[in-house]
Amino acid sequence: MPIPSSTSIITFEIMDGSKGLTYPRIDLKDYTLDENLPASLPTQHTHSASQTDLGLLEQLPLELLQASLLQLDPRSLINFRMVNRRGCPTVDNIPQFSSITKHAQIAVRAALAIRTAPWITCKQLHNTLCTAERRNCGDFGGYIYMLTCERGCFLCISNDKRYLPYDLTPKGFKTLRDALCDLPHMKSIPGRYSPLTKKCSRRLRLWDRESAKRSASSMEQVERTEANTFDGKSGNKLRFMAVVEVPVLDPRTGVLEQGVHCLGCKNSHTHRSQHVRRKFNERSFQTHIDEFGPLVDDENRIGDKVHRKW
């Protein structure tokens, strides 16, 4: 049997945390939208039509029909599925939709519950499901921000302003709400949010910050809102009201990645590069080891770089 490469070893040890390099989860609850969703959501049923085909849509090649249906938002595609007996298997046989319902059902439930579905296509949700890294920082993104359907890591969700939506619930913001009505926004679910379990007993009207800032017609009001917005970072409940935890799907293998934490960074809470809340997949963990050196005890240092076990 050939000796495995270092990358193969790390892959094995990520899959099996007992080797001492990684561990799967932190014993903390972040109280994101996941923990506050209702147990079930009402389904909008439609009466089955007497016909059992899709009418003029039957003339389209199957691949073109499926590609077109993926441009629908989750609620519209679910409604199309229930049109008649032909609509159901047509939707269920779309590979991307099948992956979404199997691996990202929590994201669909979230989009319907907080009413962000109109700004999300099923194709976009599937692409996000299959994306591992957060676009800006490059870290493993174990969460999806449902206002824009993009990946985020915990450190970005709790620090980056783009994940802090505007609260336009007060009556004084009615004019601004009307001006921004076509931009991504939501109605929150009452519950407890953030690792500090901040309670919110009413439904808030929240707007995606970046989308609102790009609206030139309301720029002056948005800038005033920006100046008056308090940010408590990971203690700010608004940051977690549109966030759900969703694993990453490798579309080639069908394998799900939850991400892992580095054991050598277990007690680090300062620098981002070695922060306890960072998550890794196989590729990014190899880069992390290359940057900080192998995990060793104080008595067994290897070379100049020492990645300590705490």
* pLDDT tens series, the chain, 310 aa: 333 333 334 443 444 443 568 999 999 999 999 999 987 655 444 444 445 788 888 888 989 999 999 999 999 999 999 888 888 999 999 999 999 999 999 999 999 999 999 999 999 999 999 999 877 788 999 999 999 999 999 999 999 999 999 999 999 899 999 999 999 999 999 999 999 999 999 999 999 999 998 886 777 888 788 777 789 999 999 999 999 999 999 999 999 999 999 988 988 888 899 999 999 998 899 899 888 887 765 433 333 455 655 4
Residue 308 amino acid letter: R
In Å, how far are 84, 118, 172, 245, 268 from 151, measured between CA atoms? 35, 18, 32, 10, 24
**Cα separation of 297 and 308, whole Å?**
6
**Cα separation of 267 and 260, whole Å?**
15
**Cα separation of 71 and 76, whole Å?**
10
Sorted by sequence, the CB contacts under 8 Å of residue 293 that are 6+ apart come out as 302, 303, 304, 305, 306, 307
Rounded to two decimals, the pTM is 0.87
In Å, how far are 46, 150, 151, 157, 181 from 63, measured between CA atoms? 26, 26, 28, 37, 34
**Quick one: which of 196, 258, 243, 198 has its CA closest to 37?**
243
Can you give the pLDDT at residue 4? 34
**Cα 300 vs. chain centroid, distance in angstroms?**
39
Domain residue extents for the chain = 1-25+262-310, 29-40+106-257
Phi, psi (rounded to 5 degrees) for 171: -60, -30
Instruction: State the burial class of residue 241 (Cβ atoms within 10 Å of its Cβ: 0-12, 13-18, 19+).
Output: buried
Sorted by sequence, the CB contacts under 8 Å of residue 66 that are 6+ apart come out as 90, 93, 94
3-class DSSP state for residue 210? helix
Q: What is the pLDDT of residues 59-99, one digit of tens each?
A: 889 899 999 999 999 999 999 998 888 889 999 999 999 99
In Å, how far are 12, 76, 93, 167, 244 from 82, measured between CA atoms? 44, 10, 14, 35, 27
Sorted by sequence, the CB contacts under 8 Å of residue 217 that are 6+ apart come out as 179
Question: C-alpha angle with apex 46: 40 to 48, nearest 5 degrees?
Answer: 130
